[in-house]
Amino acid sequence: RISQVPSSAFSPSHLDCTLATPLSPTLKFGVTLFPLVQTSLKSSFITERMHSLAASWHVELDSFKAQAPHGPVDFANVVATLDPAATWRLVLACHYDSKYFPHDRHGQAFVGASDSAVPCAMLLELVTALDRELLEAKEQVSRTGSGVTLQLLFFDGEEAFKDWSATDSLYGSRHLAERLATSLHRSGTRMLEHLSLFVLLDLLGARQPMFQNHFPETANWFQRLLGIEKRLHRLGLLQSHPQEQLYFQRDSFYSHVEDDHVPFLRKGVPILHLIATPFPEVWHTMRDTEENLHPPTVENLCRILAAFLAEYLWL
């Protein structure tokens, strides 16, 4: 169903939207000494952007307080659901916090462009570019009273404040997974059981990232992404893309990186982890800035994911 993705969905003007409008505020508010301020500024931006769309998303803040190594901290996940009444949910997720580092000797702050401003910008760009199609899909699901809808999860508190551990990391995803495991869908079953697929984006934006399939249970969906990359290459719709199989690798790697998917994985949710492996060279360095991103790669990944959404949601 790639033909049903709007041909202009990721034109240069839309790429500017991805790398300028949503990304710059995300970068601007990337890190602060005050996590609550960071959370309120960035979550407000995401919420306002989602509310501006014609598809009328249901957006809520999953706010909570958790104990961190230096004391209690306020967190807020952003949960955006296209149609809360739908039976199934395809989840696209990322984290919007980033690692705290002190300013360097030149006064530069750590930005975290690939970790994780770009994944956030990509999710916002996808639902903006496909706004009309998602609205039509929502209306179709509402008429039938069943079907699958799209849900976006923007996690807070992915990074450790001190040393990565079971209690100092993944604050937002651990909290939301527990909440969904105890809250009920209108059918009377646990909300967590209605997540048909959980797709997590992380460490994106560098040139030619490589993705491997980490979970045999979702190998068919990974192969779908691999096939989409090939088809878009053959159609000449990918830039700076010298070969048809560049990003999604055939070789499987059945070992996972600790990330926001883990609390959901442990509760039986099917996971597709789209994290660049090996990690970008700029990971957790002061060079993880907007200047070191590769815009054609970001646009290519947006196109691939748009086609994936079109196939999964029958747009």
Q: What is the pLDDT of residues 2-15, one digit of tens each?
A: 444 444 444 443 43
Q: Report the residue count for the chain.
A: 315
- Can you give the pLDDT at residue 278? 86
- Can you give the pLDDT at residue 281? 85
Say which residue, 24 or 221, is predicted with more confidence: 221
d(CA 180, CA 185): 9
CATH number at residue 261: 3.40.630.10
158 CB contacts (<8 Å, ≥6 apart)? 95, 97, 116, 169, 170, 171, 172, 173, 259, 260
> Each residue of 248-281: pLDDT tens digit?
998 877 667 889 999 999 999 999 999 998 888 8
132 CB contacts (<8 Å, ≥6 apart)? 54
Letter string b/e over residues 80-90, b meaning 16 or more CB atoms within 10 A of that residue's CB: bbbbeebbbbb
Count of domains in the chain?
A: 1
> Which element (helix H / strand E) includes 208?
none
pLDDT classification of 247: cutoffs 50, 70, 90: very high
Q: Of 37, 49, 54, 111, which Cα lies nearest the Cα of 78?
A: 49
| 77 pLDDT higher than 80 | yes
- Which residue is it, tokens 């903006």? 128
- Can you give the pLDDT at residue 18? 38
d(CA 19, CA 38): 20
Token digits for 77? 């996940």
- Can you give the pLDDT at residue 34? 28
Catalytic residues: 158, 202
Give the domain range for residue 276: 2-313
Q: Of 148, 92, 150, which Cα lies nearest the Cα of 121?
A: 92
